Amino acid sequence: MTGDDGTGPRFRLRGWRDGRAAAFERRSDDEDALKALTACLLGEGYVRLDLEAWSLELNDWVRLERFEAG
């Protein structure tokens, strides 16, 4: 997890198969690598994926993009 001091991966990709809790989470400093996963995950039954970045100012994750099936 990214800490309050900004250490740790800067980006996170979370995915949902339905309306319940996130079923997939991957963190990385490589935003493009996370984006590259989206087509594959959507094809495997995930209905929504959120690409997020850690905000030091807010001390929380902020959504950059949302990817949805169909």
Tens digits of residue pLDDT in 13-63: 999 988 777 788 999 999 999 999 999 999 998 999 999 999 989 999 999
Q: How many residues does the chain have?
A: 70
Contact (Cβ atoms closer than 8 angstroms) between residue 14 and residue 22: yes
Domain extents in the chain: 11-68
pTM of the model: 0.85
pLDDT higher than 90, residue 4: no
Contact (Cβ atoms closer than 8 angstroms) between residue 42 and residue 49: yes
What pLDDT does 51 receive?
A: 97
pLDDT higher than 90, residue 2: no
Amino acid (1-letter code) at residue 48 = R
3-state secondary structure of 46: coil
Burial of residue 48 (number of CB atoms within 10 Å: 0-12, 13-18, 19+) = middle
